[in-house]
Structure 1
Amino acid sequence: MYSCSDLKKGLKLLIDGEPHVIVQYDFTKPGKGQSLYKCKLRNMITGALFDRTYRSGETFEPASLEERDMQYLYQDDSGHVFMDKKNYEQVFLTEDTLGDDKYFLIDNMDVEILMYGERAIGISLPNFVNLRVTQSDPWVKGDTAAGNNKPATVETGYTLQVPSFVEEGTLIQIDTRTGNYVTRVKE
């Protein structure tokens, strides 16, 4: 069991029978009376955000979540398909559940799937992924006023800003946490 003093950003709690994560946290000690813990919580299943205020002395149940090593297989009409590496069971995640993480998935990529019971509710990608640029405007000499960056689209459909020397067909490394260009990758 967690107490109010354990509350912090990123802590996962079980509230009303569903897992929630603390997105924002604020501690207030009024002049008199009990301390207040103001939290912005996100439902990990529906994605809904809401605010709650707790008083000191309240307790919380930790959410029983499990991370499983899985491999991304493919995408079809029902969603994205992942396979458990131990027992070869397949798990489906919808595009709504994945959010922008869908742009960083490559066939046969190893990922960690966050499970609540037998239900997949989230994904943890590797920090960096290598993707090939499929569309990029050519660099024009004298185009330095715009900070030397230009938009480029990679093979998964994701669009990001890259340096002017990156051309179509170039393999680049992208930080999956921020979605930003990191470096060119030698082949």
Structure 2
Amino acid sequence: MPRINGNEIRPGNVLEHNGGLWVAVKVDHVKPGKGGAFAQVELRNLRNGSKLNERFRSADKVERVRLEQRDQQFLYENDGMLVFMDADTFEQIELPAEILGERRPFLKDGMTIEVEFYENEALNASLPQKVTCTVEETEPVVKGQTAANSFKPAVLDNGVRIMVPPFIAQGEEIVVNTETMEYAERA
């Protein structure tokens, strides 16, 4: 594994630190008036989700870990565990449903997602950036309502509530950005 200096840590980097695997969530470079510069790094443990704040000086060396990304197909949910299958090897893995957090409702049967592995241990999963959903209920379209920033509430087929533009009607298919949980475009 490559060793990097403490001032080279960037958000999203996965580090081996204190015997665990941590992802850098937030990095602030601080240059105090007295003493040397350092990076104040907020870390999240990939195995148990705990958080940690650490200071790394430029002279400090840390192990940067590369995760292997594999596409997995979602099969079903069983007792709070999501079951995925590798399309090439047909191997099945289980991940806790909490790994997707509030984006869990966007996971549909047969959907292909990206799972990150470290030495054959599944650590993280991410949905596609854009998912197509159907609007189950929303207010009716009002003619002449063309204000640039007006949005109305809508409930999607997966039960998630989001804000949509006034021209979107009930039963329409829309594309939702899973990172921001916002309306992106018509499908």
Give the Å deviation of 1:142.
7.7
Give the Å deviation of 1:63.
2.4
Equivalent residue for 1:112? Answer: 114
Alignment of 1:11-160 (within 5 A): 11-140=13-142, 147-160=149-162
In the alignment, is the contact (CA less than 8 A) between 1:70 and 1:82 conserved in 2?
yes
Give the Cα separation in 1 of the matches to 2:186 and 2:34: 58
Gaps of 5+ in 1: none
- The CA deviation string for residues 114-154 of structure 1, in whole angstroms up to 9 with x for no partner, is 12333322112222111111222334568778953211121
Gaps of 5+ in 2: none
Give the Cα separation in 2 of the matches to 1:64 and 1:7: 13
SS at match of 2:32: coil
The residue identity in structure 1 corresponding to 2:105 is Y
In the alignment, is the contact (CA less than 8 A) between 2:4 and 2:63 conserved in 1?
yes
Give the Cα separation in 2 of the matches to 1:140 and 1:39: 49
Percent identity, aligned pairs only? 36
The residue identity in structure 2 corresponding to 1:127 is Q
Give the Cα separation in 1 of the matches to 2:155 and 2:45: 32
Give the Cα separation in 2 of the matches to 1:16 and 1:64: 17
In the alignment, is the contact (CA less than 8 A) between 1:70 and 1:110 conserved in 2?
yes
SS at match of 1:69: strand
The residue identity in structure 2 corresponding to 1:173 is V
Give the Å deviation of 1:102.
1.2
Runs of 4+, deviation exceeding 6 Å: 142-146
Q: 1:171 aligns with which of 153, 169, 173?
A: 173
Provide the aligned C-alpha RMSD in A. 2.2
Give the Cα separation in 2 of the matches to 1:37 and 1:162: 40
The residue identity in structure 2 corresponding to 1:135 is E
TM-score between both structures, scaled by the size of structure 1? 0.87
Give the Å deviation of 1:52.
0.8
In the alignment, is the contact (CA less than 8 A) between 1:65 and 1:114 conserved in 2?
yes
